Every structure is written in C-alpha cells, then in structure tokens.
Amino acid sequence: MSAVERDADQYEVVSAGYTAPLLAAAGITVGDRVLDVGCGYGTTTRAAALLAGSGRVLGNDLSPAMVAGARALSAGVDHVAFEVGDAQTHPFPDGGFDVAISRMGVMFFADPVAAFTNIGRALRPGGRLAIATVGAPEDNDLPGLVAAAAPGADAVLALSDPAHLTAVLGAAGLQDITVRPVATTIALATDPAAAAEFICEWGAFRGFLTAGPAEEFTARRAVAAAALTVAAQRFHTGDGIRLRSSAWLVTAVRPA
Ligand SMILES: C[S@@+](CC[C@H](N)C(=O)[O-])C[C@H]1O[C@@H](n2cnc3c(N)ncnc32)[C@H](O)[C@@H]1O
C-alpha cells in the first residue's frame, strides 16, 4: 500500500460516515457538472463521478500534495479532473457547475463569506450546494483529542455554530438554506497507544509535527504521542477507541 493510499484510508476512518448522507443531500443526477471543494484525496469526487455518469466532476484543493494523491488514486476513473486552488479566490468558471459538494473541506477559510460567494458564483443559477462540516463541539471528540497535542487543532470548529453557518451562506448570496445534524462513530484504533500512532501518522496532523526544526522532529513526535495516548484513555471502550462525531449537513441554492 502506498503512503497516499494509507493516508487516504485514514481520512476514510474519520469521515466515511458522511459520504452517503452528503451524496444523498446533493442529489447528483446523470449529466451533472459537479465541483468538489477541498476534495483532499478525491474519495467524494470519485463517488460523485459515478452518480454524474456522462457529466463531469472537478475536485478542487489548496494542497498540491493532496491533488497529486487524488490524481494518482483516480487513474482510470472517467469524467474526473483535479485542480489546485484556494476555493476562496480560485477562478472557477462562472455558472460552470450544477452542484457543489464538500465533505469536511470548508472549515478552513480565512474569509468564509468570500469563499462561499466564489463557490456560489461557480454554480449556475438554481445550482445546489451540499456540504458536510464539523458539527457542535460537544458532539465531536476528535478535535479535542487532537488538540491535546496540537493547540489550534480545534480550528476545524470554525463553522460549527449553525446560526453563524447559516448567516455566512446567506451573506454569500445563497438561499433555501437547510442545516441538519448527522452523526457517526469513529472507530479510531484498538487502544490509546494505537490511537496516538494513528493521529501522528495522519496527514491532517503531520503538519503540526513537521513545523519546527527538523532535528527536533523525533522528540516532538514522542511528546505528542505521549500526550495523545493519555488523552485517548477516556475514549477506550471494550470495542477500542471510539469517538463521537457529528456534522452539519447543509444544503443551499444559488438564486435562479
Ligand atoms: C479535512 S480535509 C477533507 C478532505 C476531503 N474532502 C475528505 O473528505 O477526505 C480538508 C481539505 O480541505 C483543503 N482546504 C483547506 N483550505 C482550503 C481552501 N481554502 N481551498 C481549497 N481547499 C482547502 C485541505 O487541503 C484538505 O485537503
């Protein structure tokens, strides 16, 4: 298994529970042109392509490494393309998409109104937005667990207040906004040490470990793993490390 496949699998451990609800909310039909924002390794991009059939799906991500991984994992998949770009400013074609989706790719914008305005501009009039974004903090164990070793990791909660989320989408010019919770359980690992290892190896976390002097990486990783092992104790069940996870499943429409 390649490093990209391993990392992509880790994203699935965390987020796979949201794929089916997201795609159901998106209502993609054959021929649709779909934009997948913050697509990461493209799992939902490829799933959308199966639904869009003769249509086409564009995966967008800020990270060149994620896009390279998405392209590698999508070899042989028809009607799928990927582009590196900041969704806040990327020059998507005006009205070029029938549907925009995102699984956990919209919480990192410095200016969320600008981002959703840009995404809305990329939708045709009447086009639909469907996103899954991290839900209420009290229903989500992972951000707090990761924050035990990486202060700032709870930045993923940026859109976790549904009133704020609705206001952002409204300010971006979208309408018919619906927000509903959807929950899943993350079976992270067998025990606390394995949970710490999972997080230290996960691409979403590695940036915290690699920031700083390279010669101190091993020590930094050991400190992080020790803190994560302690923090993971309280999620240790007879069934391994199990985390509560909840997302807001959001739909909206670009006015016709
Ligand atoms: C938690 S990952 C989710 C990836 C993927 N959607 C999934 O479900 O596996 C968040 C992704 O959003 C991307 N991202 C963050 N800020 C972005 C931005 N401004 N524009 C586009 N992508 C962004 C990151 O590079 C990362 O791949």
Q: Please, what are the domains in the chain?
A: 3-137+154-185+245-253 (3.40.50.150)
Averaged pLDDT, 50-56:
96
Judged against a pLDDT cut of 90, whether residue 151 lies above it is answered with no
The pair of structure tokens assigned to 228 is: 């994560």
Which band of pLDDT confidence, cut at 50, 70 and 90, is reported for residue 225? very high
| Residue to mutate, 39, 45, 208, ligand 1, most ligand atoms under 8 Å from C-beta | 39
3-class secondary structure per residue, 114-183: HHHHHHHHHEEEEEEEEEEEECCHHHCHHHHHHHCCCCCHHHHHCCCCHHHHHHHHHHCCCEEEEEEEEE
CA of 13 to the centre of ligand 1 (A): 16
245, pLDDT greater than 90: yes
Phi, psi at 232, each rounded to 5°? -75, -15
Buried b / exposed e across 78-91, counting CB within 10 Å, b at 16+? ebbebeebebbebe
Whole-number Å distance between alpha carbons of 171 and 114: 9
In ligand 1, the atom with minimum distance to the C-alpha of 11 is 9
Q: Are 66 and 43 in contact (CB under 8 A)?
A: no
pLDDT at 205 over 90: no
| Smallest CA separation from ligand 1 atom 14, residue | 38
Give the chain's mean pLDDT: 96
Pocket of ligand 1 contains residue 63 by CB under 6 Å: yes
pLDDT given for residue 207 in this prediction: 82
- Residue 236 and residue 191 in contact, taking contact as beta carbons nearer than 8 Å: yes
Say how far apart CA 126 and CA 255 lie, in whole Å: 5
Residue 81 has pLDDT above 90, yes or no: yes
**Is 186 in a helix, a strand, or coil?**
strand
What integer pLDDT is reported at residue 204 of this predicted model?
A: 86
pLDDT tops 90 at residue 206: no
104 Cβ closer than 6 Å to some ligand 1 atom: yes
Please tell me the residue having the least CA distance from ligand 1 atom 18: 86
On the question of pLDDT at 211 being above 90, the answer is: no
Mean pLDDT, residues 191-199: 97
Pocket perturbation via mutation, ligand 1, pick of 74, 104, 202 by most ligand atoms within 8 A of CB: 104
Q: Is the pLDDT of residue 66 over 90?
A: yes
Q: Are 95 and 86 in contact (CB under 8 A)?
A: no
Task: Please work out whether the CB of residue 188 comes within 6 Å of at least one atom of ligand 1.
Answer: no
* CA distance linking residue 142 with residue 48, whole number of Å: 26
Average pLDDT over residues 85-112: 97
Q: Is the CB of 205 under 6 A from ligand 1?
A: no
What is the distance in A from the centroid of ligand 1 to the CA of 174? 21
- Provide the token pair at 164: 């704020």
Give the number of the atom of ligand 1 that is nearest the alpha carbon of residue 39: 6
At 104 the three-state DSSP class reads coil
Under 8 Å CB-to-CB from 149, ≥6 apart: which residues? 199, 205, 208, 223, 224, 225, 227, 228, 231
Give 239's DSSP letter. Answer: T
Please tell me the distance from the alpha carbon of residue 30 to that of residue 33, in angstroms, as a whole number: 9
The DSSP code sequence of 45-103 is HHHHHHHHTTSEEEEEES-HHHHHHHHHHTTT-TTEEEEE--TTT--PPTT-EEEEEEE
Mean pLDDT value across residues 239-255: 98
pLDDT of residue 195: 98
